[in-house]
């Protein structure tokens, strides 16, 4: 595939949108290839966790392709949004946990793509937002629905009505990202560039961004490895129960939880893991 890179790391798959020249914006080809990739991962029982990110250091995903949208008619727009929503829904419903490694810009459709991930880690230089109203449209890939469920209606309205970007730290405060990955004293970064030397400052910023992105991916892989230590069946059922519980009343959700809980007793890994726990406790 041209626009999607799939990198296996044992039982973890890293999926990268590979269109850095357009800040990893999602045109119709990206959407099609991403959909095919998710189908491949859904069928691959050896993959336990998926990490979704963008190539380069500048952008996770800049959203929809404005150069394509500028001249399309309503029927084409409806088809474009339907295709995008279909693949985002597919990611959200994927049985395997999906971790979003938000590097750089996650705007419009990029923010909507991040929101369908189960867990979101963002680099400290990330910029997140739903700026669609600034170009004459509302969010169309799930932003008006998922953002309110994550941050609440008041904050969702503020972000969507203003179209402003927020920092990674702000996103963490409102629960839009789980964790912000920052550089510390232990990280090797280039020395400060001479003041007034714009070329040197730009080169240093690019190198720092590379170090930061490498740390972001390292932390996401560490998180994924923590998840893979657990029962994949129990994790899959937990994801289903949480997703279903978002849109149902508490009584129905609790009944679903009982069914999901009981279902796991049919799997051999449950008995093995419980026995291992008891044997360890006896020692």
Q: Quick one: which of 87, 89, 107 has its CA closest to 171? A: 107
Q: In terms of DSSP H, where are the helices of 5-132? A: 28-43, 66-69, 74-93, 109-115
Count other C-beta atoms under 10 Å from residue 116's C-beta.
Answer: 22
Query: Please, what's the b/e burial string for 24-56 (b: 16 or more CB within 10 A of its CB; e: otherwise)?
Result: bbbbeebbebbbebbeebbeeeebbbbbbbbbb
**Long-range contacts of the stretch 278-283 (C-beta < 8 A, 24+):** none
> H or E element: which one contains 204?
helix 198-228
Q: What are the angstrom distances between the C-alpha of 248 and each of 116, 242, 251?
A: 18, 10, 8
Rounded Cα distance between 168 and 176, Å, is 9
Cα maximum dimension of the chain: 70
Rounded Cα distance between 282 and 278, Å, is 6
Q: Which of helix, strand or coil describes residue 127?
A: strand
Rounded Cα distance between 85 and 36, Å, is 14
Among residues 33, 57, 112, 172, the one annotated as catalytic is 112
Number of residues that make up the chain: 283
Among residues 33, 57, 132, 172, the one annotated as catalytic is 132
Q: Is 112 in the active site?
A: yes
Q: Which residues are catalytic?
A: 112, 132
């Amino acid at each position: 595939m041209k626009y999607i890179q799939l990198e296996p790391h044992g039982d973890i798959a890293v999926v990268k949108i590979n269109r850095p020249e357009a800040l990893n914006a999602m045109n119709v080809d990206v959407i099609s290839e991403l959909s095919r990739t998710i189908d491949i991962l859904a069928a691959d029982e050896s993959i336990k966790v998926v990490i979704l990110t963008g190539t380069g250091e500048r952008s996770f995903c800049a959203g929809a392709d404005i150069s394509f949208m500028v001249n399309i008619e309503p029927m084409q727009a409806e088809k474009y949004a339907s295709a995008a929503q279909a693949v985002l829904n597919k990611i959200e419903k994927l049985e395997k946990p999906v971790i979003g490694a938000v590097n750089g810009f996650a705007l419009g459709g990029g923010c909507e793509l991040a929101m369908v991930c189960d867990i979101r880690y963002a680099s400290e230089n990330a910029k997140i937002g739903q700026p669609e109203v600034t170009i004459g449209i509302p969010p169309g890939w799930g932003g008006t629905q998922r953002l309110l469920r994550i941050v609440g209606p008041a904050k969702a309205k503020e972000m969507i009505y203003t179209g402003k970007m927020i920092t990674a730290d702000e996103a963490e405060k409102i629960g839009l990202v789980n964790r912000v990955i920052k550089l510390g004293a232990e990280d090797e970064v280039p020395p400060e560039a001479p003041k007034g030397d714009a070329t040197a400052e730009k080169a240093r910023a690019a190198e720092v961004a590379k170090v930061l992105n490498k740390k972001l991916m390292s932390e996401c892989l560490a998180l994924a490895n923590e998840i893979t230590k657990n029962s994949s069946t129990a994790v899959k059922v937990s994801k289903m129960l949480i997703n279903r519980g978002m849109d149902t009343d508490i009584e129905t959700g609790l009944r679903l939880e009982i069914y999901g809980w009981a279902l796991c007793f049919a799997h051999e890994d449950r008995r093995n893991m419980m026995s291992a726990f008891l044997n360890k406790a006896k020692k």
